[in-house]
Structure 1
Amino acid sequence: MSYPDVQLETERLLLRLPRIEDFERYAELRADEAACRHIGGHLPRGAAWRRFLQMPGAWAVQGFAMFSVIEKSSGHWVGQAGPWKPEGWPGNEIGYVFHPDAWGRGYAFESAVAAIDWAFDSLSWDEIVHCIAPDNVASQRVAQRLGSTLRGPVRLPPPAHEAAVELWGQTRAEWQAGRTSRG
C-alpha cells in the first residue's frame, strides 16, 4: 500500500503526515502529566516512540490518521489533529492533542475545522465524533465550538475500556449547516 501525500493548510497552521523530526516535541507532550491526563496518562520516551508510530502506521494501512500540526510562523510541531479510527472505536473520530506551549491559541479548533472538512470531502464520512473525558472541559469547549453535541457516555475498546469517556459528534449535514458560522 502506498503512503498518501496529504497536506492541509490553514491561516496559521500546516497539517501534514508525521515525520521523524516531529518525535522530540511529541515525546515532550507525552511526558507531560497535565497534557496527558485525559488521553491515557503520560508515557516514558520508549512508550512514546511506539505510540508515535501508530499514526504513520494508520496512514499507511488505512489511508488516514491524525496529522502532525505545524505552526507556520515557527515551523514547530505543536500537536496532532485529524481522523482516527482504531479497531472497535465508537465512530469516525476527529481527535486533537496539543503540546502545552501551544494551548490557548485556538490551534485545536483551527486544525479540527480543516481536518473535518477533509474527512467529509476525502474520506466520504457521514458523521464525526470526539471521544472526550467528562472532566476535559477545554476539549469539550472545542467540540462545542465545532458544532458537536454531547451524545452520552461510551466505552472504548481495551486497553482504554476502563476510562470514563463521553461521545460528542455531528453529522455531515449538521457540519455543513453550521459551516458559515464557524469560519
Structure 2
Amino acid sequence: MVTGPILFTDRLILRLPEPADFEAYAAFAADGETMAHLGGAMSRAVAWRDFSVRAGAWMTRGFSMFSVIERETGAWVGRIGPWQPEGWPGTEVGWGVASGFAGKGYAYEAAVAAIDYAFDRLGWSDVIHTIAPDNHRSIRLAERLGSTNRGPTSLPPPLADYRVDAWGQSAAEWRARRGR
C-alpha cells in the first residue's frame, strides 16, 4: 500500500485514491457532461485504468491527483491535484468534480490546497492548468485562482487532438497574491 500526504481544508480532505473510491470515480467518469472537457465519458473498464494510472502515479512520480472527500459526509467529490504524465506541457494542478458537487466551491477550495502543496511541498516553481477554450467553468476557476491564459499548448497522445490553452502562474505570483 502506498501512503502519502493528507491535506485538510474547511470542508474537504485530499488524500491518495483508495479502492473504495472507485465506484464514485466510475460514475464520475461515465457522466458525459462532467467529462466533456476531460477526455470524454469512459466505460467502467476504461475508468478503472484511468483511476489506476492516477493512483499509480503516486508511486512512480511521487505525486498525483488526490481523491477529494467531503469531510461532513465522507463522500467522494472528485479528483484534484498535481499532474504531469510523460510528455505533459508543464507542472499542472488539474481538477474534476462530480456533478453532484459542482457549484459548491469545492473545486476552488481543493485547488488552493493542491497548489499550495505543489509549491510548498513539491518545490514546483510554476503551475499550469490545461483548459479547453470553451470550458468556461474551468476558465472562471483558473481566473479565480489568479492564473492567466498563456495561450495554446499541446497534450501528448492520445490527447494530442484536444485544443487546450495553458493557464498558469509562478510560485512567486501565487505567494504574492496569497500574501505569503
**TM-score band w.r.t. shorter chain:** over 0.9
Q: Which residue of 2 aligns with 1:135?
A: 134
Q: CA deviation at 1:145?
A: 0.4
Tell me the matched-pair count: 180
Output the CA distance in 1 between the equivalents of 2:25 and 2:139. Answer: 22
Give the deviation of 1:178 after TM superposition: 0.5
Alignment of 1:43-82 (within 5 A): 43-82=42-81
Match of 2:36 in 1: 37
Identity %: 53
What secondary structure is seen at the aligned counterpart in 1 of 2:41?
Answer: coil
TM-score, length-scaled by structure 1? 0.96
For each residue in 1:65-116, what CA deviation from the matched residue of structure 2 results, as whole angstroms up to 9, or x when unmatched? Answer: 0000000011000100000001111100000001000000001100000001
In 2, distance between residues paired with 1:104 and 1:180?
26
Question: Would the aligned equivalents of 1:4 and 1:63 in 2 still touch at CA under 8 Å?
Answer: no
Distance 2:178 2:95 in 1: 19
1:90 alignment counterpart: 89
Letter in 1 for 2:128: V
Two-structure CA RMSD over aligned residues (Å): 1.2
Question: Any stretches of 5+ residues in structure 2 without a counterpart?
Answer: none
1:120 aligns with 2:122: no
Partner deviation per Cα, 1:130-160 (whole Å, 9 max, x = no partner): 0001110000111000000000011111110
Q: Distance in 1 between matches of 2:98 and 2:78?
A: 6
Q: Equivalent residue for 1:7? A: 6
TM-score, with length taken from structure 2:
0.98
State whether residues 55 and 65 of structure 1, in contact with CA within 8 Å, keep that contact through their aligned partners in structure 2: yes
Gaps in structure 1 of 5+ consecutive residues: none
Distance of 1:29 and 1:21 partners within structure 2:
14
**CA drift at 1:4:** 3.9
